[in-house]
Amino acid sequence: MLKISRDYVNRETLEDFPVASRFIKLPIEGYLKLLPTKDPDTGLACSVFDTINRPQIALINAINDPRHRFVCAALARRLGKTYIANVIGQLVTLVPGANVLIISPNYNLSSISFELQR
């Protein structure tokens, strides 16, 4: 069961907040549709947009929501936190003058993000 402390955070669909006030300035839905992956059930090629889960959608919407300055997401293991955080980081760094710092508790976990960024 997914429990979100703010009732208004949508976990079903990506919300389209005004560009001037949202955190991720580029259209994340279009970007996710461009990223290739394999469907975990069938093994067939598809886009990342087709495979994102409800916690990832809620995390994207919470980060993009102009009502939030900071977001704390305590999500269970194997839900794609690192992956979606790296996608958000990629989109943020495409905006001129933006910087992203990747922090991990050890080198092995850092290598996950470095591979995704590569």
Which of 92, 4, 38 lies closest to 84, judged by CA?
92
Which of 79, 75, 62, 81 lies closest to 24, judged by CA?
62
State the pLDDT confidence band at 19, using cuts at 50, 70 and 90.
Answer: very high
State the Cα–Cα distance between residues 100 and 48, nearest whole angstrom: 22
pTM: predicted TM-score of the whole model, two decimal places: 0.88
Task: State the angle between helix axes of 107-117 and 81-93 in degrees (0 to 180), rounded to the nearest 10.
Answer: 50
Residue 32 has which token pair? 């996710």
The mean per-residue pLDDT over the stretch 32-58 comes to 92
The mean per-residue pLDDT over the stretch 96-104 comes to 89
pLDDT at 58: 95
